Amino acid sequence: MFGSYALNGWFYPFSGATQLYFPSDGPKCFGNDNAITHASQTPHFMDAVWPDIWPKATDRPTPDLFHGGTVVDQEMQRCTIARHGGSPTDGSIRRIDLKQRLPGAINLSFADGHAELSPLESLWNFYWHLGYVPPSVRPGR
């Protein structure tokens, strides 16, 4: 199954299913709206290659920013696609050196209702789930 957009899976109300797929992650689902402490920084819906994602601060980006990635337990790969933001069109986004700054951007909507264009490099700075702590350095750098 592939798609053009994704829901942040940590918003699903059935945390039991999330626990089935990610048992070591503990209770990271937002149980209700009051659980969202950074609404203007918590992505809800975004450009992606899969219908839902469960990003974690330890997820590495995919080196193929054209197709994205679908590796389970590396969920950020599903939305690391250079869909916007002046991305190169010469095919170079299919083999990115992950130690370099990621080119391109995606559109995201947030829990408070606003939407914005975000550089791929900034995706790890948002608050994706309960207890999320942005890493000081993006994984892979």
pLDDT in tens, 33-66: 999 999 999 999 999 999 999 999 999 999 999 9
Domains identified in the chain, total number: 1
pLDDT tens string 92-112: 788 889 999 999 999 999 999
52 closest CA partner among 4, 8, 13: 8
Domain containing 79: what range? 5-125
Residue 141, domain member (yes or no): no
Residue 134, domain member (yes or no): no
Q: Name 138's Cβ contacts closer than 8 Å, sequence gap at least 6.
A: 61, 102, 121, 124
Residue 136, domain member (yes or no): no
Structural tokens at position 29: 């689902």
Q: Which residues pair with 5 in a beta bridge?
A: 47
What pTM was estimated for this model as a whole? 0.89
Residue 132, domain member (yes or no): no
- What strands lie across the sheet with 43-47, from one edge to the other? 52-53, 5-8, 43-47, 105-110, 115-119
